[in-house]
């Protein structure tokens, strides 16, 4: 029962606070959603702390993304793998509380000023930032695969598909799933 609550890793009290604070900071940087912060989550839980390895982090994200529900579920899976249910509480509270408070206050402020040129420029400028963060996430998540080149070809093909056609992006995503199932990536 204790392993379910606190996981199998012996975390010190400072580790719990650090986990909460780090995920809280990342929540304020999550332009484009929590998935865009995976590279820094990787750095923190894999590289710096050694709580997970590359494959465990990628599997955590993949498992949560395959499940129905909100996109942020992968944070709970990472938290569980690091520290059981207490890890889930630390990572989810850190991810949800600061960004929710900021989003509520900024959305009210921005709605009142939505016609101002600076607000419109800021909003349009966030698209390339989000795209860059998503590419960084793809880079981190394809690291444990056998053929990073194949994964990037599928990524580039999907982007080209979405830019040049009006067809559903589910087709190239399905091609990636087939490639993974066949062991090509």
What gap in Å lies between CA 23 and CA 117, rounded to an integer? Answer: 32
User: Are 134 and 35 contacting, i.e. CB atoms less than 8 angstroms apart?
Assistant: yes
Cα–Cα nearest to 182, from 129, 4, 141, 174 = 174
User: Are 72 and 95 contacting, i.e. CB atoms less than 8 angstroms apart?
Assistant: yes
Domain edges within the chain:
2-125
Residue 89 has pLDDT above 90, yes or no: yes
What Rg, from alpha-carbon coordinates, does the chain have? 18
Q: How confident is the model at residue 137 (pLDDT cuts 50, 70, 90)?
A: confident
Residue 30 has pLDDT above 90, yes or no: no
Q: How confident is the model at residue 126 (pLDDT cuts 50, 70, 90)?
A: confident
Give residue 147's region: left, alpha or beta (phi > 0; psi -120 to 50).
beta
């Amino acid at each position: 029962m204790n392993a379910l609550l606190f996981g199998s890793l012996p975390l010190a009290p400072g580790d719990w606070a650090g986990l909460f604070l780090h995920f809280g900071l990342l929540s304020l940087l999550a332009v484009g959603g929590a998935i865009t912060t995976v590279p820094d989550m990787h750095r923190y839980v894999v590289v710096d702390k050694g709580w997970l390895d590359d494959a465990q982090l990628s599997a955590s994200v993949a498992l949560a993304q395959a499940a129905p529900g909100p996109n942020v579920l992968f944070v709970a899976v990472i938290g569980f793998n690091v520290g059981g249910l207490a890890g889930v509480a630390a990572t989810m509270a850190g991810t949800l509380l600061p960004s929710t408070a900021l989003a509520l206050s900024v959305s009210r402020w921005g709605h009142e000023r939505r016609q101002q040129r600076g607000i419109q420029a800021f909003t349009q400028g966030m698209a390339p930032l989000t795209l860059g963060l998503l590419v960084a996430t793809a880079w981190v998540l394809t690291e444990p695969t056998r053929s990073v080149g194949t994964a990037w070809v599928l990524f580039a093909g999907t982007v080209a598909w979405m830019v040049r056609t009006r067809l559903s992006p589910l087709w190239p995503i399905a091609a990636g799933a087939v490639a993974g199932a066949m062991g090509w990536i």
